[in-house]
A = this chain, B = another copy of it.
């Protein structure tokens, strides 16, 4: 039996055919239609999946179902995307629409929850019963595993970990509040802060790495910091402080055995992980007497969402 995983993002949509061992057999990626029209996007996804079936030589009868990870407030019971502030969707019955277009049963959940489920079942979390995953992408999402189960909050509407204010009155967040973790620890925030630092420091090496402000990406500050650029180092230090404060907050609440970090910024590996681990250790409530939390990088990388989404239709 095969399982389809779909990972809907603000800029692209990934889909893949996954087997029972959590291995992605074939995958594809399409851009998210800029109209954000949910019916157009449903058409696109259905075509994307049919294309995968054709290329893999798989018949619909061999597929157990489609699992979808979507950003925002999702009702995983009714299959409705209740609210999404990146795609501007409101109360869209995604399960129903995708099912009508594919003839397959569809289960949906929050994208970050789904990535956490994937990592917990088949990735970095498979040895832990309590873990938290934090995804550092366009936004910041989170997923929580308690006693080996995905914790989604009441009505599946919880664990919006990116929308925890860490600086009251701080940077504007896409959710309407100011000072959310997402507004400091997302790749979007990192790029914003890199650009600001460049504007303030005209002699920074960052201008060589990214000659125009529009060239700046999530690597600019990190790569220049490695080469000793002070302005870049400050951007990285501030980023790690904000992310670290957020992680310590999660640890003080859930006390997980592990925090798994996902998203592009994690490509930095130990250069991110070492100072972050030290910050977390120094600031966690309870010091040495509380159970340690390992900060790890998600091993499924960009596949976590796909594999986790496919996991949604593996359970029953």
Chain A residues near B (Cβ < 8 Å) = 72-73, 82-83, 90-91, 129-130, 146, 151, 153-155, 157-161, 163-168, 175-177, 241-242, 245, 248-249, 252-257, 283, 285-287, 289-291
- Interchain CB contact under 8 A, A290 and B155: yes
Residues of B contacting A160 in the complex (Cβ-Cβ under 8 angstroms) = 252-253, 285-286
A-B contact pairs, 9 of them (CB 8 A): A154-B291, A157-B255, A158-B252, A160-B253, A165-B249, A168-B242, A175-B285, A177-B283, A253-B253
- Interchain CB contact under 8 A, A164 and B290: no
Among candidates B146, B151, B163, B166, residue contacting A285 with C-beta atoms closer than 8 Å? B163
Interface centre among A90, A129, A286 (most CB of B within 10 A): A286
- Interchain CB contact under 8 A, A82 and B253: no
Among candidates B129, B163, B245, residue contacting A165 with C-beta atoms closer than 8 Å? B245
The quantity of this chain's copies bound in the complex is 2
- Interchain CB contact under 8 A, A165 and B168: no
Interface centre among A252, A283, A287 (most CB of B within 10 A): A252
Within the complex, the shortest CB–CB distance from A260 to chain B, in Å, comes to: 15
Within the complex, the shortest CB–CB distance from A69 to chain B, in Å, comes to: 17
Q: Which 3 A-B pairs have the closest CB atoms?
A: A82-B289, A153-B255, A158-B255
Among candidates B83, B165, B166, B286, residue contacting A286 with C-beta atoms closer than 8 Å? B83
- Interchain CB contact under 8 A, A254 and B289: no
Contacts A160-B285, A248-B177, A285-B160 given; does A254 touch B154 at CB 8 Å: yes
Residues of B contacting A91 in the complex (Cβ-Cβ under 8 angstroms) = 289
- Interchain CB contact under 8 A, B255 and A154: yes
Give Cα distance in the complex from A290 to B159, angstroms: 13
Residues of B contacting A155 in the complex (Cβ-Cβ under 8 angstroms) = 255, 290-291
Given contacts A146-B146, A177-B283, 18 further A-B contacts (CB under 8 A): A72-B286, A82-B290, A83-B287, A83-B290, A146-B151, A153-B255, A154-B254, A157-B286, A157-B290, A158-B255, A160-B253, A161-B252, A164-B252, A165-B245, A166-B166, A168-B241, A168-B245, A176-B283
